[in-house]
Structure 1
Amino acid sequence: MTVIDAVSVQRRWSMLGCSLLAALTTTCVVSGVAYLIPALHADAGLTLTEASTLAAIPTVGLMVAIIGWGMLLDRYGERRILTISLSISLAGASAAAAAAFAGASYLVLGACLLIGGVGSGAANGASGRIVVGWFPADQRGTAMGIRQMAQPLGIAVCALTMPATAAAHGIGAALAIPAVVTAAGLIAVLIGVVDPPRHPTRVVDSHAPAPKRNPYRESSFLARVHTVSVLLVVPQSMLWTFVPTWLIVAHHWAPTTAGVLITVTQVIGALGRIVAGRWSDAWASRMRPVRLIAIGAAAAMAALAFADWIDSPWAPALMAVATVISVADNGLAFTAIAEYAGPEWSGRGLAVQNTGQYLATAVTTPVFGALIAAVGFPLTFAITALTPLLAAPLVPDDPPVVEEPVA
């Protein structure tokens, strides 16, 4: 009997649910402020560039700390580090809401958001380790697809609640929502997460790293996956950040109506990640689906740009299609990295993955804000379509994988 078999199926899936909720807190803390850009722009008097920069601050905090969190996860395990990480994130998110309620300066608000971002960095890497540690290889794509629902579901929660709450009760009340979600995630970790064994399985292939060796020196596989993921996150983060402004400011939708459309789109995107994971399990491949997703994302963003340029009524539907496609690849890349890196390096490997993606988000968010102000949404959508087009030929082949259970 393997160590994976020693854990009941019910416990395994309950831990996956707890890790999903923990990862959802990261999305709410880091990405939630983007859904206040219309309120910050229209009500608080910030320019679109200034509001976009404020929305990027939690991402900066996450980015500077996430590799450190990954190293701590590799050394001390998931449960302990998740508890510390989410506690810091909760403190920052709560302080941000309190600062907004008190009418503090945006410098103070930004500092609180930065703390929240710094504290939120462990959840993605930890939950990735839980999937690879507790699930056999032929279920990991599906399990990681479920875990990766955290991002679109977190966006859905923020889109459905934060703009309407800001309009009705102010920015402080809206910022309290990520704090509440983070408190729930912390409770889930304390109740349900158990550290996976350090060596549940060993991946053996012609390129695989030996235990405790640096997998980045073995081949270019991880570096190429990181590069592809950075390119593919650009349309994803652009749509998540600016679609509310596109609908509310540019197309004069009511915040509630826009929130409902975004929520429905994100829920479909979350389910799409499960489908992509199951697809990768059936194909026994993580990278071939990623290549097709990249091509689809480029085509969808180009179609959205054209539809918006001619003011087509189909533009919102094409936005939904582009959003669903653009979020489908994340779980596949996470699974491939965790499998290839192994238990001694998966925390750092996933941290590098997240650092690259969040760095791309932090850099491009104010750039896209300025670009939208200068040339409008259609051309910005068209420019965004270039990054998945560049990603498609860079997708590496899958390394051959053989599972060797350890009793």
Structure 2
Amino acid sequence: MSRWSILAAVVVTQTGSISLVYGLPFLIPLMREAEGVSLTRAGTIATAPLLGVMATLIAWGALADRFGERLIMFIGTLGTGLCGIAAATLPGTGGLTVALVAAGAFGSSINVTSGRAILAAFAVNQRGLAMGIRQSAQPLGLSLAAVLLPPLGVAWGYREALLVPAGICLVMAFVVAFVVPTYPRPERSGVRAPSPYRDVRLWRVHGASALLVWPQFAAAVFALTYLVSEQGWDPVAAGAVLAVVQLAGALARVGAGIWSDRVASRMRPIRTIAIAGTVAMLAWAVGDAVAPALALAGMIAAMIISVSPNGLSFTATAELAGPAWAGRAMGLQNTGQNSMAMAVAPAFGAIVTAFGWPWALAVSALFPLMAVGLTPVRGEVSG
């Protein structure tokens, strides 16, 4: 298979997985109506998959380093689909939460295996583009969820809507089994590859990436709820608009990858994006207090900007770690990001409840601001 065929299969697989694992926020209004839960409780349930993701990423990375991409991606994609069916059918919010955690645990395998496949298939001068396209699967998956899940939830019920992304995962499990190769492992020798974590830059990449997750997930989890509760939008219309915004976010990831290839740097674009993300979150906060139109513009800008550096951070992680450590390093990278993401929904929801939207959004602007200083631009060596 050509490297572009592999990339296409990876993107479709990850899009389906993300639409299931991260799609429940688009069903929060319907969940609250059906289950009678608070905003904080609904946000916690919606982000339950992150617990499974966080718990298993490093383990999947180690398995991928040892057994290769194809087997691990097949197992993970199949398991994600089966857990999606369980989420739609198990009784009670407890059963739903357990199934979502399990879906996240299986879905996390796709993150590390797809990253390894891209790293092996593409040369260094195309990795930014390729990883940007691969990372566009997240906003594409969220866009798919925003378009499909609210109307399906209205028609079928919020749980039954999850059967559609679950079905996509089941189909794609067998596609990747045929399309995605298992690349040869590095030659074994008596000397183990030294740990890349002796280099503080890799730790700083992990830290900056985790900080940039806060505004990304605050916007992704609560944007539809914000439009419905604060600006009076219909949930289906809000979902359709957010789907378009997510598509723009996907293009932003690709654009950031091309940018990084052109300037032969991953870190300089990440730092610039972090600055822009700070400004966007502040515009949303100020706009919510004084001008709804500015709030809408800031929200859209924040959603697009905040997702754009993910591909760059994964590319930088893989390049700094090297082939022998790439799976584990990308697993740790994603663990840090998902640890932060797990904290976002309950913390942001609690701040909104206690102090209001403007203060919660202003606090969210501090995280990309901290990432500006932590991003290791000095001393960067591309490739």
What is the aligned partner in structure 1 of residue 65 from structure 2? 74
Q: Report the secondary structure of 1:340's partner residue.
A: helix
What is the aligned partner in structure 1 of residue 341 from structure 2? 361
What is the aligned partner in structure 2 of residue 227 from structure 1? 207
Q: Alignment partner for residue 176 of structure 1, among 163, 167, 178?
A: 163
Greater fraction of residues in helix:
2
Deviation per residue, 1:108-136 (Å, 9 max, x gap): 11111111111111111111111110111
What is the aligned partner in structure 1 of residue 38 from structure 2? 47
Q: Report the secondary structure of 2:47's partner residue.
A: helix
Whole-Å separation in 2 of the counterparts to 1:386 and 1:245: 22
Does 2:383 correspond to 1:399? no
Deviates more, 1:242-251 or 1:284-293: 242-251
Contact 1:371 1:380 in 2 (8 A): yes
Deviation per residue, 1:196-235 (Å, 9 max, x gap): 34359xxxxxxxxx96221102x10110000000000100
> How far apart are residue 239 of structure 1 and its match?
0.3
Deviation per residue, 1:59-78 (Å, 9 max, x gap): 10111111111110010000
Contact 1:308 1:377 in 2 (8 A): yes
* Structure 1 letter corresponding to 2:309: D
Does 2:28 correspond to 1:37? yes
Q: Alignment partner for residue 13 of structure 1, among 4, 29, 35?
A: 4
Whole-Å separation in 2 of the counterparts to 1:98 and 1:42: 18
Gaps of 5+ in 2: none
Whole-Å separation in 1 of the counterparts to 2:315 and 2:186: 16
Q: TM-score normalised to the size of structure 1?
A: 0.90
Q: TM-score normalised to the size of structure 2?
A: 0.95
> How far apart are residue 373 of structure 1 and its match?
1.8
Q: Report the secondary structure of 1:313's partner residue.
A: helix
Q: Report the secondary structure of 1:314's partner residue.
A: helix
Q: Alignment partner for residue 188 of structure 1, among 157, 175, 178?
A: 175
Does 2:295 correspond to 1:315? yes
> How far apart are residue 401 of structure 1 and its match?
4.3
* Structure 2 letter corresponding to 1:90: G
* Structure 2 letter corresponding to 1:128: G
Gaps of 5+ in 1: 1-6, 201-209, 403-407
Whole-Å separation in 1 of the counterparts to 2:230 and 2:335: 32
Whole-Å separation in 2 of the counterparts to 1:116 and 1:75: 23
Whole-Å separation in 2 of the counterparts to 1:32 and 1:174: 10
Does 2:271 correspond to 1:280? no
> How far apart are residue 173 of structure 1 and its match?
2.0
Whole-Å separation in 2 of the counterparts to 1:339 and 1:311: 44
Contact 2:264 2:382 in 1 (8 A): no
Whole-Å separation in 1 of the counterparts to 2:160 and 2:102: 19
Contact 1:56 1:366 in 2 (8 A): no
Q: Report the secondary structure of 1:120's partner residue.
A: helix
What is the aligned partner in structure 2 of residue 156 from structure 1? 143
Query: How many equivalent residue pairs?
Result: 379
Identity of aligned residues (%): 40
Whole-Å separation in 1 of the counterparts to 2:328 and 2:20: 22
Q: Are the structure 2 counterparts of residues 226 and 379 from structure 1 closer, same or farther at C-alpha, using a change threshold of 3 Å?
A: same
The residue correspondences of 1:205-224 to structure 2 (distance < 5 A) are: 212-217=193-198, 219-224=199-204
What is the aligned partner in structure 2 of residue 139 from structure 1? 126
> How far apart are residue 45 of structure 1 and its match?
0.8
Contact 1:38 1:249 in 2 (8 A): no
